[in-house]
């Protein structure tokens, strides 16, 4: 990966930029608008929002104001957990498009699967929701469709019952949370894997002498090392900041490469608090 403009090709031929600008927890309207405008100014072409973030309207305004044609941007949104089911999914995708003021989305994801201990038939519930996305995809409203936070049992259920194979699985990934089984299964079925919260380990690494030595050796911040680790693992990496300087520096990760040894150091880190963020198998 040599540039912020680099892309992966999804299984249906759509290009997805390797670094995405995230908008989770950006609830202030002006921050959301400015964040998107600044990110695009710094060269990001991939914007990630969600119904759950309650900022689609402002992200949409940022997209309008950023000065780059719509077709040059890659915009993702995701289904809120309360909107599962065939009819609800269809209805709320239309609402997302309206809030964003867009004719189509480049990618739409089921944000979280319905899980086992939810009461009903979790398998059928996820299949019904997926059917709605398949139909919207075939109608052209969604250029690509995918999953988020789907672990092995949820993935297998969709893969075994789908008409259109998911093109993406967006999951939590960073040193200390590697979800290797899920990454492997997603890739086996030709899904691009997206990484959320890549900067989570930052607070644990500030006093890590190895990481500080790497920071000095590469002339990069710990945030940049973590983002580079993610990109170097082949993940489409999502990162968020409302600060212009951080938006810029988080994208400045394409002029160096972590050595195998330094990649392994990050691979083998564990943090007690982060080791098992979501026990999907039990749910």
Ligand X SMILES: NC(=O)c1ccc[n+]([C@@H]2O[C@H](COP(=O)([O-])OP(=O)(O)OC[C@H]3O[C@@H](n4cnc5c(N)ncnc54)[C@H](OP(=O)(O)O)[C@@H]3O)[C@@H](O)[C@H]2O)c1
List, by residue number, the catalytic residues: 53
Q: Which is nearer to ligand X, 235 or 265 (CB)?
A: 235
Q: Is 82 helix (H, G, I), strand (E, B) or coil?
A: helix
Query: Binding mask 26-65 vs ligand X (x if CB under 6 A, - otherwise)?
Result: ----------------------x-----------------
Q: Do 125 and 81 form a contact (C-beta atoms < 8 A)?
A: no
| Shortest Cβ 243–ligand X spacing (Å) | 4
Beta bridge partners of 105: 142
User: Which of these segments, 125-133, 136-144, 192-200, 265-273, binds ligand X (CB under 6 A)?
Assistant: 192-200
Question: Which of residues 19, 241, 265, 266 is near ligand X by CB under 6 A?
Answer: 241
For 139-158, the DSSP string reads HTSBS-EEEES--HHHHHHH
Residue among 178, 201, 106 at smallest CA distance from 146 = 106
The number of beta carbons lying within 10 Å of the beta carbon of residue 216 is 9
Task: Work out the burial of residue 153: count CB atoms within 10 Å of its CB; fewer than 13 is exposed, 13-18 middle, 19 or more buried.
Answer: middle
**One of 243, 255, 268, 273 touching ligand X (CB under 6 A):** 243
Among 238, 253, 258, 269, binds ligand X (CB under 6 A): 238
Q: Judged by CB under 6 A, does residue 77 bind ligand X?
A: no
Q: Which residues bind ligand X (CB under 6 A)?
A: 22-24, 48, 111, 148-149, 170, 196-200, 223, 238-243, 246, 249-250
């Amino acid at each position: 990966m040599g540039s912020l403009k680099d892309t992966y090709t999804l299984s249906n031929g759509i290009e997805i930029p390797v670094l995405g600008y995230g908008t989770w927890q950006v609830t202030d309207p002006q921050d959301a608008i400015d964040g998107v405008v600044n990110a695009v100014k710094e060269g990001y072409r991939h914007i990630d929002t969600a119904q759950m973030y309650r900022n689609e309207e402002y992200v949409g305004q940022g997209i309008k104001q950023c000065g780059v044609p719509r077709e040059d941007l890659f915009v993702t949104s995701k289904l809120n957990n309360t909107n599962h089911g065939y009819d609800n999914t269809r209805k709320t995708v239309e609402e997302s498009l309206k809030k964003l003021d867009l004719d189509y989305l480049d990618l739409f994801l089921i944000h979280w699967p319905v899980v086992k201990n939810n009461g009903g038939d979790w398998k059928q519930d996820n299949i019904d929701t997926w059917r709605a996305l398949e139909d919207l995809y075939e109608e052209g409203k969604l250029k690509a469709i995918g999953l988020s936070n789907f672990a092995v049992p949820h993935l297998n259920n969709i893969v075994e019952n789908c008409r259109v194979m998911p093109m993406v699985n967006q999951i939590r990934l960073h040193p200390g949370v590697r979800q290797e089984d899920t990454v492997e299964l997603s890739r086996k079925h030709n899904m691009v894997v997206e990484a959320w919260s890549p900067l989570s380990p930052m607070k644990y690494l500030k006093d890590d002498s190895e990481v500080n030595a790497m920071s000095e050796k590469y002339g990069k911040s710990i945030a940049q090392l973590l983002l580079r680790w993610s990109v170097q693992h082949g993940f489409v990496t999502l990162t968020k900041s409302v600060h212009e300087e951080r938006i810029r520096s988080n994208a400045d990760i394409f002029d160096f490469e972590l050595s195998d040894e330094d990649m392994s150091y990050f691979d083998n880190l564990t943090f007690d608090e982060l080791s098992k963020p979501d026990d999907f198998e039990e749910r």
